[in-house]
């Protein structure tokens, strides 16, 4: 199949393709990590709740702070070793409220949430990938300060990649939630939906969390049937994307639709309908006559739809 409408150069998938060397072997070496924290060459991403600190720079925004800048903001609530990028150690630092307040008053520093940074294209992909890692880990620490086994306080160990209970000694590890995001396809048409929270005119792939005891293929079929009433057969994997909102892994798939009648679950979707490839192409190119749109290029849904437009989908 050929694309019904030529699109511009393929954009990069956000938060994917990280070049960082995580150096997991150093996580158990507390002395080595402490030395790296004091190293003048090490760099720190500063995170305050849902906000990340960016410095104004001549060529854009800079999310990296040196050790002196980080320490001047007071004792952090967490420090996580992220790894090495181009030979330089990178850390994520969770700021205490006083440190956040100091940054908010400082000229030349902007505090933004990660989604806004990605949507506005303020940072290159190297930074976005590492920030996805750091933001997810800091978020996990914030929500797991107490043991799920006995309720006692936990303490961070292994460079921030584990929390141990001081009472029952249970270890706790960061979790990643798998989410299927799928495009049901019937020949030249695909199924798109829109939750009520979407901005007016935006349509996207259906999605949902993988449940315990479920394969990716089973989750794709179940979510498509539950949300839109469409029964699917074969499932084809497309690609995955880290999604740090707060810490999910999007598993992109195509599903072969075996039914056509849409039955919408109004608790999940405001609307759902079939779209032809020509119409999706116009939406991707921001040329749809009714102003309909798709998610921005940093989201995997954009790439799933683009691949469908450019070459269609074939199921073995």
Domain assignment of residue 128, yes or no: yes
Same domain, 264 and 196: yes
What pLDDT digit, counting tens, does each position of 161-170 carry?
999 999 999 9
Give the residue, 309 or 1, on which the prediction is more confident: 309
Domain assignment of residue 2, yes or no: no
Same domain, 191 and 109: no
Same domain, 121 and 233: no
User: 6 falls in which pLDDT band (50, 70, 90)?
Assistant: low
Same domain, 135 and 199: no
Q: How far is C-alpha 184 from the chain's CA centre?
A: 22
Same domain, 199 and 103: no
Domain assignment of residue 149, yes or no: no
Same domain, 108 and 225: no
Domain assignment of residue 16, yes or no: no
Residue 12 pLDDT: 87
With beta carbons less than 8 A apart as the criterion, state whether 275 and 237 touch.
Answer: no
Q: Which residues constitute the domain of residue 88?
A: 24-143
User: 60 falls in which pLDDT band (50, 70, 90)?
Assistant: confident
With beta carbons less than 8 A apart as the criterion, state whether 45 and 91 touch.
Answer: yes
> For the domain that residue 132 is a member of, what is the CATH number?
3.90.79
pLDDT exceeds cutoff 60 at 3: no
Average pLDDT over residues 274-286: 97
Total domain count for the chain?
A: 2
Domain assignment of residue 58, yes or no: yes
Domain assignment of residue 163, yes or no: no
CA angle 284, 285, 287 (to 5 degrees): 110
Same domain, 267 and 182: yes
Same domain, 87 and 199: no
Residue indicated by tokens 């048409």: 189
Domain assignment of residue 11, yes or no: no
Same domain, 103 and 200: no
Same domain, 125 and 236: no
Domain assignment of residue 13, yes or no: no
> For the domain that residue 264 is a member of, what is the CATH number?
3.90.79.10
Query: CA 292 to CA 289: how far, in whole Å?
Result: 8
């Amino acid at each position: 199949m050929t694309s019904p409408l030529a699109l511009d150069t393929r954009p990069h998938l956000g938060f994917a393709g990280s070049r960082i060397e995580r150096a997991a072997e150093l996580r158990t070496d507390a002395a080595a990590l402490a030395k790296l924290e004091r190293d003048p060459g090490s760099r720190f991403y500063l995170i305050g709740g849902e906000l990340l600190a960016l410095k104004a720079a001549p060529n854009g925004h800079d999310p990296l702070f040196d050790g002196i800048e980080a320490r001047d903001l007071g004792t952090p609530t967490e420090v996580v070793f992220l790894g090495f990028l181009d030979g330089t150690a990178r850390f994520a630092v969770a700021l205490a409220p006083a440190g956040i307040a100091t940054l908010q008053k400082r000229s030349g520093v902007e505090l933004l949430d990660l989604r806004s940074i990605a949507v506005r294209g303020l940072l290159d992909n190297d930074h976005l990938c590492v920030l996805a890692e750091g933001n997810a880990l800091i978020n996990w620490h914030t929500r797991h300060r107490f043991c799920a086994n006995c309720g006692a306080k936990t303490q961070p160990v292994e460079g921030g990649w584990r929390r141990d209970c001081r009472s029952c000694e249970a270890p706790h590890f960061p979790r990643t939630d798998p989410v299927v995001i799928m495009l049901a396809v019937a020949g030249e048409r695909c199924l798109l939906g829109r939750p009520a929270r979407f901005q007016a005119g935006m349509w996207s792939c259906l999605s949902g969390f993988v449940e315990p005891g479920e394969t990716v293929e089973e989750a794709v079929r179940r979510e498509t049937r539950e949300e839109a009433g469409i029964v699917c057969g074969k499932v084809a994997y497309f690609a995955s994307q880290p999604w740090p909102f707060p810490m999910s892994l999007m598993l992109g798939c195509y599903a072969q639709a075996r039914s056509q009648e849409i039955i919408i679950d109004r608790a999940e979707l405001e609307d759902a309908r079939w779209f032809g490839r020509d119409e999706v192409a116009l939406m991707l190119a921001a040329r749809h006559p009714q102003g309909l749109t798709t998610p921005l290029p940093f989201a995997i849904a954009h790439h799933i739809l683009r691949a469908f437009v450019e070459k269609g989908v074939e199921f073995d």
